[in-house]
Amino acid sequence: MKKRSCRRPWIWSHFHRSEHWICVKGTAELTVGEQVMFVRENESVYIPQGDLHRLYNPGKIMLEMIEVQTGSYLGEDDIVRVSDEFGRG
């Protein structure tokens, strides 16, 4: 996946899958639960099934990530969006 720098996106979770994200280029600001972390090139993070999470590109260059999904169901409709600081949701 590729992300340009922009305002922070939705916070979401999944009922049936966990995810492993690997940063290929740039720096990602990632929120998982209550923890905010920065993931840089060649670093990765695991997002457990059901945990709220959000991916944001705080930099000026295009962010490139690899997302690996595991679980009993990997459909794109397995997403629960939660209200965020902009009142979306």
Q: For residue range 37-79, what is the model confidence (pLDDT) as tens digits?
A: 999 999 999 999 999 999 999 989 999 999 999 999 999 999 9
Distance CA 48, CA 46 (A): 6
Fold of the domain built from segment(s) 2-82: Jelly Rolls (2.60.120)
Of the candidates 29, 35, 21, 34, the residue with the CA atom closest to the CA atom of residue 65: 21
- Among 8-12, 32-36, 59-63, whose mean pLDDT is lowest? 8-12
10 confidence band (pLDDT: 50, 70, 90): confident
Domain boundaries, the chain: 2-82
Helix (H) or strand (E) holding 32: strand 27-32
Distance CA 16, CA 49 (A): 6
**Range 18-36 average pLDDT:** 95
Among left, alpha and beta (phi > 0; psi -120 to 50; other), residue 58 is: alpha
Mean pLDDT of all residues belonging to the chain: 88
